[in-house]
Amino acid sequence: MAVITGAGQGIGRHTALGLARAGFHVAVVARSAERGRETVADLAQALDPSPQPALPAAFSWVAADLALGDAIRDAAGTLLVRHPRIHLLVNNAGVASRDYRVTPEGRERTLAVNHLAPVRLTHHLMPGLVAAGTPGSGESARIVILSSGAHAKRLDLTAFEGPRGYSGLHAYAQSKLLNLLHTFDLAEHLRGSGITVNAVHPGLAPTGLLMDFLPSGIIRRTLSPILRMVARSPEQGARTPLHVATSPEVAGTTGGYFAKEAPADPAAAALERENQEGVRRWTENLIGVDWRATPLPEEDPQPQRD
């Protein structure tokens, strides 16, 4: 079974559909119960518009506003009760904003939704991923994190401070670099565990997130149609996440960065161990989650003797 965030629209919607077509039961983490019901109804209808769908139970939902730590922890708890073994987690949801915005927990919103939420959700779901990925079980587990080709080339954690001097574009680029640093550091920790973790750039797609960067008025009206012409469709944007999530070619690959359904080179800053370790400690100080804290099964466990 697969868990995905942000499947209500854009790239995530098409990724969820692709996963269901590939045979996964897809549990959608939606921002509210209302969005969960709407999303599952929309996905089921898109998958099979006939009155008697062939796959009536392809989708389910759980509610969590990804800006809120407790909501993520509770949703993960619900998911683990329903699905003790999780074969795939796609951390897709993301936000962008031109203005400085703060969550009810007082955190800059781009940081909270784009970085802290994937860290928390992955951490809280780890028992289910470990259960599915245990070496020798014949199963495996994959984690896919949506980063972006727009990730920053240099780490600057002051990007999330504001409101004075705040740049939404800079905060977004930093949040996508944090996605890579999280991916690569976690991949090292999970090596040999049967759980892989990779990051993707889906390509430029004219989704709500991209449009949120455009100023309103004449500039938006001029740029929107151009963007729609040059960008990939959200459906095309789902290809790389789906490739990394499902392709046998990618089985066993971990700590990778993919674009256009192929391995790609991230900025050097994403590969620096000092940055990875620094961001792990910085994140732990912020939210009390050490993403390397999960006890992992040993490879080829020896039979126990009394």
Ligand X SMILES: NC(=O)c1ccc[n+]([C@@H]2O[C@H](COP(=O)([O-])OP(=O)(O)OC[C@H]3O[C@@H](n4cnc5c(N)ncnc54)[C@H](OP(=O)(O)O)[C@@H]3O)[C@@H](O)[C@H]2O)c1
Interacting residue ranges for ligand X, rule: CB under 6 A: 5-6, 8-12, 31, 35, 65-67, 92-95, 113, 146, 148, 201-202, 204-205, 207-210, 234
CB of 264 to ligand X, least distance (A): 12
Residue nearest to ligand X (CB): 10
CB of 146 to ligand X, least distance (A): 4
Which is closer to ligand X, CB of 34 or CB of 298? 34
Which is closer to ligand X, CB of 10 or CB of 128? 10
CB of 253 to ligand X, least distance (A): 20
Q: Is 172 a catalytic residue?
A: yes
CB of 93 to ligand X, least distance (A): 3
Which is closer to ligand X, CB of 6 or CB of 69? 6
Longest dimension (CA), the chain: 76
One-letter amino acid at 165 equals G
What's phi and psi for 258, nearest 5 deg? -125, 145
Helices (H), the chain: 10-21, 33-47, 69-82, 109-111, 117-133, 168-190, 208-211, 218-230, 234-237, 239-246, 268-271, 273-287
* d(C-alpha 265, C-alpha 253), whole Å: 15
Report the b/e string of 234-252 with b at 16+ CB within 10 A: bebbbbbbbbbbbeeebee
Q: Which of 100, 166, 172, 257 is catalytic?
A: 172
Which is closer to ligand X, CB of 92 or CB of 196? 92
* d(C-alpha 95, C-alpha 208), whole Å: 9
The catalytic residues are: 172
